Amino acid sequence: MYHKHLQFVVLSFLLTAGTLSGCGQRIKGKYKADTLTHDWKQTIPGNFSGQTKNTFDSIQITQFIKKHPKFSAYAGEIHDFYQRRGFAYAWFENKKLIEQANNLASRVLNLQNEGINQPAPYQKELDSLIYNADIHQHQPNIQTELMLTAQYFVFSKLAWQGMDDTMSRSARWYLPRKKVDYQQYLDSLLKETAKSQLPAEPVYRQYDLLRAFLKKYRELAVRGDWSPIVLSAKIRPGDSAIVVPLIKKRLFELDDFHGDTLNRVFTTELQDAVKRFQYRHGLLVDGLLNKATMAELNVPLKSRIEQLIVNMERSRWLPVNLHSDYLGVNIPEFKLHVYHADSLLWSCNVVVGQTVHQTTLFYGEIKYVVFSPYWEVPQSIVRKEIIPQLKKNPDYLATHRMEITGYKEGLPVIRQLPGPENSLGLVKFLFPNNYNTYLHDTPSKSLFGETTRAFSHGCIRVQEPAKLANFLLKDKKGWDAQRIEKAMSAGKEQYVTIENKVPVFITYFTAFIDREQRLNFRKDIYQLDGAMAGMLLNDKHLP
């Protein structure tokens, strides 16, 4: 028997944000997640089945799969897992089910808590087998054993990996999907570890955090009325109105307001709560009940629940963690985040592509910092924008410090000279890709003050380019802040190679948890959520 402080991955939490459903009490043979009355973390570390005496014939796996054809896709993984164990039972110890078996069953039987809309295959049989094993059986049971292992692989696929690549491609997600050897992962759980470390689930941390809020929003949907709140007139701080208690109550339910919900006065406390709400929704933070704020307050809970489920699915696609420097751009948030491993170092505003010139969601590795860059004008912009301007004004190129360097397919090849008015600003950051997308400075600084910042032709404009250059070149000998500033203003293009390329993830999260554990929502500016929600909530989700 292995007795180590090892956290069973199927049931562990990445971060302790909120109380999640877990190993519920048994009620008439059913698992009821809401009956949890103790700390899950105390139920997970413990004894694992390291026994080797109780074994079974491998033919039992073949017979089990034949009887349960919905597990056929996992037949190879199940067989390999047991072959490495010498076909010893994994879920039984001293002739009884180990505690983790009940925990896994609870998680599988409550897939809705994972943002998964359909039940697991053979759910009723799983529930019956676990119930009988707990109450009546005193010997290892091969059907219960193989059912648990098969359900583990189903759960791993659905909760940790998500829908197949067809879904992510249709959602225009061109980042590489994470790959996890779940068979090896399960096997490692049943082995003694030297350092007794607590492993985490193989899923990006946002998944677990969003799951906690999914539970909360579903409870709100069951518990209360969420009818639209209508303002018949403008209300300002200090005013009294009959609608104010309704607004206070809603903000209280959303954890933004913590005062008296019956008072009709627009108090300072309410104004502060409105500001918190506005911040969480990417709105202008002024504490006023304007049209945009009321629209977000009135978004139906059903829509928010779908938004959470969609973004939980996106979280399944990302790498679990990185141990190096990397950048993340979240398009709906209009933010660049700079990380070292799991530590957020700093963030700044960005401008992303317009709806008609959408920034592509993909992964790259920054290889060059280019100071005082030329702007090689894309041929599409030459055709649609510059040629019409030249017809109106023959001096257009000179006025905008542009020059013709050749001709291609009947169009002039145009570039803009380095300098403060260059459309790329004073520095750009290149990561080779097929989408002609990169990060860069801009002379149009005022756009960073807008709450919605989708103005570019697809590239990403960075509010703090000098700070980013310093970060990327921090290990480059001789490139201190003074030299970087000089190179940015030199007026002569200069490429600097980054020795250790820095990953950059261009992502799309319309719901996410910030570092203060606050749930944020953003508008679906590229209209990508709806189609995903439709696929996730139909009957094609399960294998």
Task: Give 157-201 as a DSSP string.
Answer: IIIII-S-HHHHHHTTEESPPP---HHHHHHHHTS--SS------
* 3-state class (DSSP) for residue 105: helix
Using N-to-C axis directions, what is the helix angle for 59-67 and 142-155, rounded to 10°? 70
Whether 348 is catalytic: no
List the beta strands (DSSP E) in 12-124: 25-27, 30-32, 46-48, 92-93, 96-97
Torsion angle, CA of 416/422/425/428, rounded to 10 degrees? 0
Beta pairing, strands 511-513 & 427-430? unpaired
Distance CA 240, CA 263 (A): 9
In contact, 348 and 328? CB cutoff 8 Å: no
First vs last C-alpha separation in the chain: 34
- ∠ CA 56-193-75 to the nearest 5 degrees? 35
Whether 357 is catalytic: no
**4: β partners:** 46
CB atoms within 10 A of CB 280: 20
Q: Is residue 27 packed enough to be buried (19+ CB in 10 Å), middle (13-18) or exposed (0-12)?
A: exposed
**Which residue among the candidates 281, 337, 400, 440 is catalytic per the annotation?**
440
**428: β partners:** 370, 440
Task: Give 234-262 as a DSSP string.
Answer: ---TT-B-TTHHHHHHHHHHTTS--S-SS
In contact, 324 and 341? CB cutoff 8 Å: yes
In contact, 459 and 437? CB cutoff 8 Å: yes
- Max Cα-Cα span within the chain: 91
**Which residue among the candidates 79, 281, 459, 541 is catalytic per the annotation?**
459
Distance CA 496, CA 502 (A): 14
Give the residue numbers marked as catalytic: 440, 459
